[in-house]
Amino acid sequence: MAVKYFGTDGIRGPVGTYPITAEFVLKLGWAAGVVFSEAQGGTILIGKDTRISGYLFESALEAGLASAGVNTVMLGPMPTPAVAYLTRAVSAQAGIVISASHNPYADNGIKFFSGDGRKLPDSVEAEIERLIDVPMTTVASQYLGKAERMTDAVGRYVEFCKNTFPKSLSLKGFKLVVDCAHGATYKVAPSVFRELGATVITMGCSPDGLNINEGVGATDPAALAERVVLEGADLGIALDGDGDRLVMVDDSGVVVDGDELLLVIALYRQSKAELKGGVVGTLMSNLGLEVALRDHNIDFVRSAVGDRHVLSDLIKRDWALGGEGSGHILCLDQTTTGDGVVSALQVLVAIVDSGRTLRQLVNVMDKYPQTMINVKDVAPGAMESDDVVNAVAEVEQTLGSEGRVLLRPSGTEPVLRVMVEGRHAEQVQRLAEDLANVVGSVPH
């Protein structure tokens, strides 16, 4: 059954525009409650990021779940991976996160975790969607769900994160700038790094409901890069609005993306004989990552774009490490989903234990120039047209073994993404522009 509302990462869109409305989220809560409830019972956790509409949708979800006879535990502002962890920790039926991740405050979304802290199987999403389209009912009054608040959620998650960092190591002597994007990690992330011994300078830790991801965080690390240099810090840590992405900045102010961080973790674990299997990237992962891993005899495979696809491939292969250049990094030996704080700690383990700087650890990767152009108003079937197929073949022949071409429809915008990657930036830019022109000129 094809899903109608769920995208690659839950349901997301502008607040007040269907389906991100109070009426729909009420019905969604009820439908999820019916699917997850055990006989007149069950508990579901609800967490949110810091955007102002979280209050609205928190109330709507709770009402819908209660009408299905499900108890709710409100976590308040908590990172997405914290909700996944706490769902497992308290044996809840499911966890729900109210967040639009790295999007601006005017958007919001709903995503789910099953009782094991993983994203929902497609079959469960499809069943929730089926129920959204049937009349809503209410259980008898004696079976209505109750709501309570978990008062120690922050402390529980902080301790969990700290336990992914070896007790034999310490962050004493390290000066870190931590940018929380005015998002869900604004309480927990600084606490984790301070309690492990670091001197922490904070940015993006003053959420007002409207400033989430605005000029800060993993999607806009320029201000963090400046601050790291200004403070003479050892490195910077940038998280996104819901805390599942990580980008770092080295001591010279150079931004280090998810592909590079993934390599740092992989090579460190290999050096300790702790790397389980190989590494899963995506179709968008930098070719430099693939080459560096190959040079170190580490297997590498590419999944479709999206961390749920990376997760699926990791589980299928029984591997532990994967991620995306955007900063979604999965360390399945530590937790069940992408977690920016936990991923940062895994990089810091490599830095502390090796005695090398982030810059030194990253320098083993030769990052390939990559250009991506979004082509709008593309004719249906353009990717299969003779002109485009021939143009792609010509670009691939020009690049040879030192480059890649990728055409793919966006999962979030009405565009076709044209990506070219190779050794030489000017050549890559020219080839991408030429190919995008061919794609855009296919007649409708």
> According to the model, what pLDDT value does residue 1 have?
52
Residue 223 in any domain: the answer is yes
C-alpha–C-alpha distance, residues 190 and 176, integer Å: 9
Q: Are residues 361 and 376 in the same domain?
A: no
Nearest to 275 by CA among 166, 171, 367, 350: 350
> According to the model, what pLDDT value does residue 214 have?
97
Overall domain count for the chain: 4
Q: Are residues 264 and 378 in the same domain?
A: no
Going by pLDDT thresholds of 50, 70 and 90, the confidence category of residue 7 is confident
Q: Which of 253, 278, 297 is the last residue of a domain?
A: 253
> According to the model, what pLDDT value does residue 139 have?
95
Q: Are strands 370-376 and 235-239 parallel, antiparallel or unpaired?
A: unpaired
Helix (H, G, I), strand (E, B) or coil at 425: helix
Q: Are residues 84 and 207 in the same domain?
A: no
C-alpha–C-alpha distance, residues 117 and 16, integer Å: 29
Residue 409 in any domain: the answer is yes
pLDDT digits (tens, 9 = 90+) for 295-306: 999 999 999 988
pLDDT digits (tens, 9 = 90+) for 354-398: 999 999 999 999 999 999 999 999 998 899 999 999 999 999 999
Residues 205 and 219: beta-carbon distance below 8 Å: no
Mean pLDDT of 182-209: 98
Residue 311 in any domain: the answer is yes
Q: Which contacts (CB < 8 Å, 24+ apart) does range 133-142 have?
A: 136/26, 136/27, 136/30, 136/64, 136/67, 137/67, 138/67, 139/40, 139/67, 139/68, 139/69
- E strand residue ranges, 140-269: 147-149, 175-179, 199-203, 235-239, 246-249, 255-256
Residue 257 has pLDDT above 90, yes or no: yes
Residue 436 in any domain: the answer is yes
Q: How many CB atoms lie within 10 A of CB 185?
A: 36
Name 333's Cβ contacts closer than 8 Å, sequence gap at least 6.
Answer: 276, 320, 321
Residue 39 has pLDDT above 60, yes or no: no
The amino acid occupying position 162 is: K
The amino acid occupying position 379 is: A
> According to the model, what pLDDT value does residue 138 have?
97
pLDDT digits (tens, 9 = 90+) for 413-438: 678 999 999 999 999 999 999 999 99
Residues 186 and 77: beta-carbon distance below 8 Å: yes
Residue 442 has pLDDT above 70, yes or no: yes
For 401: left if phi > 0, alpha if psi spans -120 to 50, otherwise beta; the answer is alpha
Q: Which of 53, 101, 114, 326 is flagged as catalytic?
A: 101
The partner residues of 45 in beta bridges, in order of sequence, read: 73, 95
Nearest to 106 by CA among 285, 241, 270, 288: 241
Helix (H, G, I), strand (E, B) or coil at 376: strand
Q: Model pTM? A: 0.94
> According to the model, what pLDDT value does residue 146 have?
96
Element (DSSP H or E) covering residue 54: helix 54-67
Distances, alpha carbon 152 to alpha carbons 43, 146, 174, 405, in Å: 17, 19, 28, 49
Residue 156 in any domain: the answer is no
Q: Are residues 24 and 136 in the same domain?
A: yes
Q: Are residues 248 and 314 in the same domain?
A: no
Q: Are residues 122 and 88 in the same domain?
A: yes
Token match 């989903």: residue? 337
151 burial class (0-12, 13-18, 19+ CB within 10 angstroms)?
Answer: exposed
Q: Are residues 130 and 221 in the same domain?
A: no
CA angle, 113 then 63 then 92, to 5°: 30
Q: Are residues 386 and 401 in the same domain?
A: yes
Residue 166 in any domain: the answer is no
C-alpha–C-alpha distance, residues 326 and 284, integer Å: 10
Going by pLDDT thresholds of 50, 70 and 90, the confidence category of residue 166 is very high
Residues 235 and 171: beta-carbon distance below 8 Å: no
Q: Which of 89, 116, 151 is the last residue of a domain?
A: 151
Mean pLDDT across the chain? 95
CA angle, 228 then 231 then 234, to 5°: 55
> According to the model, what pLDDT value does residue 306 have?
87
CATH code (residue 338): 3.40.120.10
> What tokens were used for 313?
């491939």
Q: Which of 305, 333, 367 is the last residue of a domain?
A: 367
> According to the model, what pLDDT value does residue 421 have?
97
Mean pLDDT of 244-248: 98
Q: Which domain holds residue 276?
A: 257-367
Residue 8 has pLDDT above 80, yes or no: no
> According to the model, what pLDDT value does residue 37 have?
84
> According to the model, what pLDDT value does residue 2 have?
59
> According to the model, what pLDDT value does residue 299 have?
98
The partner residues of 419 in beta bridges, in order of sequence, read: 372, 406
Residues 157 and 135: beta-carbon distance below 8 Å: no
Is 37 in the active site?
no
Helix (H, G, I), strand (E, B) or coil at 416: strand
Residue 411 has pLDDT above 70, yes or no: no
Residues 338 and 282: beta-carbon distance below 8 Å: no
> According to the model, what pLDDT value does residue 412 have?
61
> According to the model, what pLDDT value does residue 322 have?
98
pLDDT digits (tens, 9 = 90+) for 320-358: 999 999 999 999 999 999 999 999 999 999 999 999 999
Q: Are residues 86 and 218 in the same domain?
A: no
Residue 86 in any domain: the answer is yes
Distances, alpha carbon 302 to alpha carbons 36, 311, 327, 390, in Å: 33, 11, 16, 24
C-alpha–C-alpha distance, residues 78 and 276, integer Å: 30
> According to the model, what pLDDT value does residue 38 have?
66
Q: Are residues 351 and 398 in the same domain?
A: no
Residue 40 has pLDDT above 70, yes or no: no
Q: Are residues 68 and 99 in the same domain?
A: yes
Q: Are residues 300 and 362 in the same domain?
A: yes
> According to the model, what pLDDT value does residue 309 have?
92
Residue 162 in any domain: the answer is no
